[in-house]
């Protein structure tokens, strides 16, 4: 496993990290989810990402159970705030940040989180109120560092230019061979403020593993084959032209001596501003396979050919 610095923090996080959106939130059996967490730690993954809204607390509770008894200094824990926990509990007001952080800490069975992220931008709360509340939690020691996910660029700048506020150290955008758009402007903007990326969906909801074949029913055990989770994958990515293009990437991965998933993760990690790629795994073997991408050596020429293949079918 390789590690990179997270923004202007003192955190060194694994370049492959473990997410919990569709796993510990209830997408797989709890025992299996816990086994994935333990395997991740075994292979050197030290960064675990979750959110209060994943399963409305279920993901955090399962992680709290999985990590119970494990040295707190051996892993770096991140969660998020913004999503609706009830009809009235949502957003980034001071009241919600205080309330939701305390609830997250209880579920995670810890006194602090290493990274507390604003899951989206809250247009209904003054930005200064949000930043003041986050800064207060950092001063209390309940949060070490703060970050954001999918914020408008003008609001990123506004927040970073505020005086006497805790600085953002991380951004969490969607980023993959099928969704490369953040690299155009966001990465450079963040670099100017000492912010690096922790990217979600680096395998495009599993499409870039190559397991979905054109004009064939998806495997029953897959995300798309699961009735409750299949709707989360963009329909566009399941169309034949996209799946056919993805299949054309397999020879490139073979040439690099990698699985298609490892090749796709290596593409994401080629950017220095990307500190980590979040993977979701339903089996410990998937954790092991994806973790190996941290050591992958791929020529830029192969990456360029992959980009050319997918360019015509991107959204």
Q: Which residues are catalytic?
A: 54
Beta strands (DSSP E) in the chain are 3-5, 12-14, 16-18, 47-49, 76-81, 113-118, 143-148, 168-171, 196-199, 274-279
- Report yes or no: 194 and 161 within 8 Å, Cβ to Cβ: no
Number of H helices, E strands in the chain: 11, 10
- Chain mean position to CA 124: 25
Q: Which two tokens stand for residue 15?
A: 């370049």
CA pair distance 18, 79, nearest whole angstrom: 12
What is the Cα–Cα distance from 47 to 138, expressed in whole angstroms?
19
Tokens of 129: 């109120």
35 vs 219: CA distance, rounded Å: 22
Q: 140 in helix, strand or coil?
A: helix
Q: CA–CA separation, 76 vs 198, rounded Å?
A: 13
Place of tokens 């770096």: 76
């Amino acid at each position: 496993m390789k590690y990179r610095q997270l923004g202007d923090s003192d955190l060194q996080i694994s370049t492959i990290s473990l997410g919990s959106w569709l796993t510990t939130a209830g997408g797989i059996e709890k025992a299996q989810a816990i086994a994935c967490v333990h395997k991740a730690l075994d292979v050197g993954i030290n960064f675990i990402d979750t959110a209060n809204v994943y399963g409305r607390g279920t993901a955090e509770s399962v992680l709290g159970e999985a990590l119970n008894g494990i040295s707190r200094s051996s892993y770096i824990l991140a969660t998020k705030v913004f999503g609706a926990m009830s009809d009235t509990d949502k957003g980034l007001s001071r009241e919600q940040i205080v309330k939701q952080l305390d609830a997250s800490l209880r579920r995670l069975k810890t006194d602090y989180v290493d990274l507390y992220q604003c899951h989206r931008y809250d247009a209904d709360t003054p930005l200064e109120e949000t930043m003041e509340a986050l800064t207060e939690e950092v001063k209390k020691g309940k949060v070490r560092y703060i970050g954001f996910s999918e914020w408008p660029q003008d609001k990123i700048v506004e927040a970073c230019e505020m005086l006497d506020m805790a600085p953002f150290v991380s951004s969490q955008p969607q980023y993959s061979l099928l969704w490369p758009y953040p690299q155009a402007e966001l990465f450079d903007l963040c670099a100017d403020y000492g912010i690096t990326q922790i990217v979600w969906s680096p395998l495009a909801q599993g499409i870039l593993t190559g397991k979905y074949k054109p004009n064939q029913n998806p495997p029953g055990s897959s995300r798309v084959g699961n009735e409750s989770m299949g709707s989360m994958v963009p329909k566009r990515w399941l169309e034949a032209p996209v799946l056919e293009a993805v299949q054309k990437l397999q020879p490139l991965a073979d040439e690099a001596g990698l699985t298609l998933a490892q090749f796709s993760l290596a593409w994401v990690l080629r950017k220095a501003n990307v500190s980590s790629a979040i993977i979701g795994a339903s089996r410990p073997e998937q954790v092991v396979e994806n973790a190996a991408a941290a050591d992958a050596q791929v020529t830029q020429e192969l990456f360029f050919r992959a980009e050319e293949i997918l360019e015509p079918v991107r959204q």
